[in-house]
């Protein structure tokens, strides 16, 4: 009985140590969503948000939208020239458990979708370490 309790406590301790270790560095996730610009004239937007779920900082050097389907030459859509006021600058250092966002007019994304004949895009990031992070696709048109 005592041995079983010791085994259970050991397993719990191991899980806690693993969780602490896995969250000690930067853990970056990226997502995109539709919305409306909260101030000014009504503007439909796509918001790309990077969240650092870990404890350590991470540098984000660039972001883009990746079309799902369509021709192979439409790999990355750099939307930097269409970002709206209120978007974070690049490169940006994201501290642990913080987020940054970029706002893009929905019509600019819809225009690219029509041009390349795609309906869904995936938000992507490039980190200072050279690693790329891809989020879940969202439907645009």
Q: How far apart are CA 53 and CA 63, in angstroms?
A: 18
| Tens-digit pLDDT profile for residues 69-99 | 877 666 788 888 889 988 999 999 999 889 9
Indicate if the pLDDT at residue 137 is higher than 90: yes
Query: Using 50, 70 and 90 to split pLDDT, how confident is the model at 125?
Result: very high
Per cent of the chain over pLDDT 70 is 94
End-to-end Cα separation, the chain, in angstroms: 61
Q: How far apart are CA 53 and CA 22, in angstroms?
A: 10
The DSSP 8-state label assigned to residue 93 in this structure reads E
Query: Using 50, 70 and 90 to split pLDDT, how confident is the model at 22?
Result: low
Query: Using 50, 70 and 90 to split pLDDT, how confident is the model at 108?
Result: very high
Of 42 and 131, the structure prediction assigns the larger pLDDT to 131
Strand partners, 120: 68, 139
Indicate if the pLDDT at residue 18 is higher than 90: no
Strand partners, 47: 33, 103
| Tens-digit pLDDT profile for residues 45-77 | 999 999 999 888 999 999 999 999 877 666 788
């Amino acid at each position: 009985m005592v041995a079983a309790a010791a085994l259970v406590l050991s397993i719990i301790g191991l899980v806690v140590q693993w969780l602490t270790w896995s969250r000690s560095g930067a853990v970056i996730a990226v997502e995109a969503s539709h919305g409306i610009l909260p101030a000014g004239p009504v503007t439909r937007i796509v918001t790309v948000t990077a969240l650092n779920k870990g404890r350590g900082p991470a540098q984000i050097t660039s972001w883009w939208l990746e079309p799902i389907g369509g021709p192979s030459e439409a790999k990355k859509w750099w939307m930097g020239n269409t970002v709206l006021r209120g978007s974070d600058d690049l490169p940006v250092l994201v501290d642990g458990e913080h987020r940054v966002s970029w706002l893009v007019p929905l019509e600019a994304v819809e225009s690219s979708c029509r041009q390349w004949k795609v309906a869904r895009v995936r938000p992507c990031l490039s980190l200072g370490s050279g690693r790329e992070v891809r989020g879940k696709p969202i439907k645009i048109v």
